[in-house]
A and B are shown apart, each in its own frame.
Chain A
Amino acid sequence: MLERKKDYKAWLYLGIPLFLLSVFTFYPLIKTIFISVFTQYDAVENAMGSMFNLDAYRTIFRDKNFIRSIGNTLLLVFISVPISTVLALLIAVALNSIKPLQRIFQTIFFIPYVTNVLAIGMVFNVMFSHPFTIGLVPEGLINTLFNTSIDWIGVTALRKHWMLVVMIYVIWNALPFKILVFIGGLQNISKQYYDAAKIDAATPKKTLLRITVPLLSPLISYILITSFIGAFKSYESVLSVVGGVGRELDRKRWTAVAYVYDKIGIPGLDGNNVSYYSRGAAAAVILFLIIMVFTFINLYASKKRVHY
């Protein structure tokens, strides 16, 4: 194909970027795995130590906070992702079926994508606010609209309440990308399928389930993979809606990623003679493995079920 250059020339282009990638992407990837199994890793001296075992994994699986943070993450993943995907599909189909105002709606639905996760998260925080001492400050928008007095996100909020707010926010945030991708997919479907359906007097529901969904199945599986991965990594959205000032987040509300970040910057060993860094690294590896398993399951399932 192309004549072989003297190789060094290519390295002039690749040198610096690949060096940076090696230092900040490839090397840390391997190092994290090492830290998770050398359980007395000393971050100050950057010494791996001689304890090579799986204690860090054992410790985190006995750690209530870790189990709970995985639980929170799974709840978020398995409730918000299906809802937002179905909702986005319905919105895209509805958008695709209209002519007037289509572009305006499309632009409105895309706006959440170009906002700051933290800023709008704080808006949700304000909308769901509830005065800590009744009467000191007024109730927030949601409590006023529904005439309730529920502590949605405050320190005394129940799990079901703050989780609901986080999920609404996560769905709000996830819609634009999915709608955009689905609309792209819908516009690629040949019109003749729909004409044929019309001749056969198929109901809109039948058209959706028998034509649109099967033809979009590659896209749906792609969206599911990427949003499962994205939701497994959620942290900032939770932090901004139900967190305190700065990076302060009640440990009951941690996600898996929050657990990892919490272990950064703590030198020394915990009560089980496992370094905090090793625990964080082990949690990161577990998260990575979960994501990998899901990616492969999704890929496998989509190969079997996808109709092209």
Chain B
Amino acid sequence: MQEISTRIDYRKNDRLALQKTNYILRKIGTYTFLTVVALFVLIPFYWMFNMSFQSTNEVLNSASISFFPKEFSPDNYRKVFAYSTVSQASITFATYLKNTLIVAIFSTVGGTFFSILVAFALSRLNFKGREIIFSILLATMMIPGEMMVISNYITVSRLGWTNDPGRGSYYAMIFPFLVSIFHIYLLRQTFKQIPNELYYAAKVDGCSDFKYLWRIMVPMAKSSIITITILKLMGAWNAYIWPDLVANERYKLVTTWLRSSFVDQDSGQGRVLMNYQMGASVIVTVPLLILFVLFRKYIMSGVSRSGVKG
């Protein structure tokens, strides 16, 4: 009897060899494609850091751009922190940062707190009008914020908050966006998954609704709450048009600082100092990147459940 070899050497079989080559070619193609996209994604970051470390002389007076800083000048950053244009002397990065932190902390803490309260009432308590309220909230979620902006501007102006050289500026930046319907919706979904039995057991033990919310529900929904906290924080850090529109000069946020003109004041030619501009971009971007590194899981899960940015 003839012995049949079950081993197939793909090198000796033309069809298999072709398949193998195709497979390898496809893999190479895939990795090349992904690498090109990764470069497309990363080049702006590289360029931002590259420019931010170049000296003013290099940026303004070279014949061609440098792909790498010739004179490494981290001193740019010190100057950018202290930079203030003539019209707004004494308002430097520190002021903007303080304002941003105040707005970010109050809107994050307040916003998350209110989202928890509303999500709890809508998912656990039973009261007249609950379904109506929830439907109205859902319907409003689809409506673009630009519909409200005109009337809100009038409202905050009439409250005396617009351009107010005091706390009013903060109120105008915090209150209109404090309660986020989308975050309420996200949290309500999470709260709904917590079994009713827990609630009844807590009731039997004489636990009040409020205590039940903070002692049992909040810890159980921890990851959703962290997600909305971070989204809220990022939203406050990135907010630009509305704060710039309503806040007084002394109360604007880091984004306004970022958009200010970093101009070469010595030569009198009004040339833009791209190295300072890019330094400012780095300063605004890096905290977000740190946040991303620390809370990658929460941000990505929040985003994949969301649909809208911020």
Q: Which residues of A are interface residues toward B (Cβ below 8 A)? A: 1-5, 7, 9-11, 13-14, 16-18, 20-21, 23-29, 31-32, 35, 43, 46, 87, 90-91, 94-95, 97-98, 101, 105, 107-120, 122-124, 126-127, 129, 136-141, 144, 172, 175, 177, 180-181, 184, 204, 222, 226, 229-230, 232-233, 235-236, 240, 245-247, 257, 260-261, 263-265, 277, 280-281, 284-285, 287-288, 291-292, 295
Task: Verify B241–A236 contact, CB threshold 8 A.
Answer: yes
Q: B143-179 CB contact bits vs A (8 Å, 1 = yes)?
A: 1111111111111011000000000000000011111
Contacts A118-B255, A126-B278, A230-B308 given; does A28 touch B125 at CB 8 Å: no
Contacts A29-B143, A43-B154, A235-B241 given; does A260 touch B149 at CB 8 Å: yes
Task: Verify B34–A32 contact, CB threshold 8 A.
Answer: no
> Residue on B with the closest CB to A291?
B144
Task: Verify A17–B47 contact, CB threshold 8 A.
Answer: no
- Chain B contact residues, majority secondary structure: helix
> Residue on A with the closest CB to B127?
A10
Contacting residue for A127 out of B47, B271, B308, CB 8 A? B47
| Interface check B198, CB cutoff 8 A | no
Q: B274: shortest Cβ distance to chain A, in Å?
A: 5
- Can you pick out 21 interface pairs between chain A and chain B where the beta carbons lie within 8 Å of each other? A11-B127, A14-B118, A17-B118, A20-B179, A23-B155, A28-B152, A46-B158, A108-B42, A111-B289, A114-B291, A119-B48, A122-B278, A123-B44, A126-B278, A137-B61, A138-B65, A139-B65, A172-B40, A204-B26, A226-B308, A246-B244
Q: A28-B155, A46-B158 are in contact. List 13 more A-B contacts (CB 8 A).
A: A13-B120, A17-B115, A24-B155, A24-B175, A27-B155, A32-B150, A105-B38, A114-B292, A119-B281, A122-B281, A137-B61, A229-B144, A247-B245
| Interface check B103, CB cutoff 8 A | no
Contacting residue for A247 out of B158, B184, B241, CB 8 A? B241
Closest 9 CB pairs of A and B: A28-B151, A10-B127, A119-B281, A13-B121, A28-B148, A17-B114, A114-B292, A31-B151, A24-B176
Contacts A108-B41, A222-B307, A246-B256 given; does A126 touch B126 at CB 8 Å: no
Task: Verify A3–B284 contact, CB threshold 8 A.
Answer: no
Q: B31-67 CB contact bits vs A (8 Å, 1 = yes)?
A: 1011001101111110110010000000111111100
Task: Verify A115–B285 contact, CB threshold 8 A.
Answer: yes
Q: Chain A contacts of B26 at CB under 8 A?
A: 204
Q: A131: shortest Cβ distance to chain B, in Å?
A: 9
Task: Verify A10–B151 contact, CB threshold 8 A.
Answer: no
Category for how many chain B residues contact A: 35 or more
Q: Which residues of B are interface residues toward A (Cβ below 8 A)? A: 26-27, 30-31, 33-34, 37-38, 40-45, 47-48, 51, 59-65, 114-115, 117-118, 120-121, 124-128, 130, 133, 136-137, 140, 142-155, 157-158, 175-179, 181, 184, 196, 199, 209, 234, 237-238, 240-241, 244-245, 255-256, 258-261, 269, 271, 274, 277-278, 280-282, 284-285, 288-289, 291-292, 296, 299-300, 303-304, 307-309
Task: Verify B125–A2 contact, CB threshold 8 A.
Answer: yes
> Residue on B with the closest CB to A223?
B307
Contacts A141-B47, A265-B153 given; does A116 touch B147 at CB 8 Å: no
Task: Verify B45–A111 contact, CB threshold 8 A.
Answer: yes
Task: Verify B258–A122 contact, CB threshold 8 A.
Answer: yes
In the bound complex, CA of A120 to CA of B38 (Å): 16
